[in-house]
Amino acid sequence: MKEINYAHNDTFNGERITCTSKYNKPRLREELEEIRRSASRRGIPVSGPETLNFLRTFLLAAKPANILEIGTAVGLSASLMAETCPYAHITTIEKNEAFYAEALENFRKLGIDDRIRAVCGDAAEALGTLSGKYSLIFLDGAKAQYVKYLPALKALLDDGGALVADDVLLFGYVTGEEPTPPKRRMLVEHIKEYLAAVTSDSDFATTVLNVGNGVSVSVKISVADTENKIQG
Ligand SMILES: C[S@@+](CC[C@H](N)C(=O)[O-])C[C@H]1O[C@@H](n2cnc3c(N)ncnc32)[C@H](O)[C@@H]1O
């Protein structure tokens, strides 16, 4: 890739160090570690170790059969998900053509391209073309758009499925743990809107985890579990 055209460079500083980072390390196999290293070297935004470790642990428990990812970048998290769930089919959406092309190449090299449908395009548009249901959605695209995507993602999620959103604490700015730089204020407001929407929706049970840059896990309450809904 000659030139990186990434519109969100100013929102990506890698993953912050949390008090649990030293325990939450993924054991990536060498090929995935190389994709991570190469992306990091070139400033391409990919999930950090804590988030990858969380994803792997969660996937091993949840065993999703159909996964949707918003924000492929060069395919690191999609590859981790494909390896962790060898029975799963993954759809992943990326608008940056150079990242998309590199992700396709990585999937091919890893021999997982037959289980990953990579879509190149804007997520808002691509979501409208999807049908079927997903048992896990990994939301890792433009953070400012999370709240806008929520209705479509909810409709695409199976009952009992999980919507996992990355970067919801954004370096500690969202909780006020770190002062928000002026240029990130709007973004922080959008993330707060997402968290407010998903935590107040009685169709979801949500927990926000202080892992990496913050991960929220929202499980769509199934009809069979409706008595577990807490109203208000
Ligand atoms: C944090 S990166 C994804 C990292 C990837 N999930 C991983 O961990 O390997 C976010 C990606 O979302 C993409 N993106 C940003 N806005 C988008 C949009 N509107 N539609 C689709 N992709 C978008 C960016 O180009 C970027 O590659």
- The count of domains in the chain is 1
CATH classification at residue 179: 3.40.50.150
The verdict on residue 203 lying in a domain is yes
Q: Is residue 109 part of a domain?
A: yes
Q: Are 15 and 50 in contact (CB under 8 A)?
A: yes
Q: Is residue 140 part of a domain?
A: yes
Residue 1 located in a structural domain: no
User: Cα of 33 to ligand 1 centre, how many Å?
Assistant: 19
Which residue range(s) make up the domain with 127?
9-228
pLDDT at 232: 57
Distance 226 CA to ligand 1 centre (A): 34
Is pLDDT above 80 for 10?
A: no
**pLDDT tens for each residue of 182-202:** 999 999 999 999 999 999 999
Q: What is the pLDDT of residue 63?
A: 98
Ligand 1 atom with the smallest distance to the CA of 123 is 20
Q: What is the DSSP letter of 12?
A: -
Residue 4 lies in a domain: no
Which is nearest to 13 in space by CA: 143, 176, 153?
143
Regarding pTM above 0.75, the answer is yes
Instruction: Judge whether 24 and 54 are in contact, CB under 8 Å.
Output: yes
Instruction: State if residue 48 touches ligand 1 by the CB under 6 angstroms criterion.
Output: no
Any domain includes 46: yes
- Taking phi over 0 as left and psi of -120 to 50 as alpha, with beta for the rest, 97 belongs to alpha
Q: Is 95 in the pocket of ligand 1 (CB under 6 A)?
A: yes
Q: Is 32 touching ligand 1 by the criterion CB < 6 Å?
A: no
List, for residues 69-101, the tens digit of each pLDDT value.
999 999 999 999 999 999 999 999 999 999 999
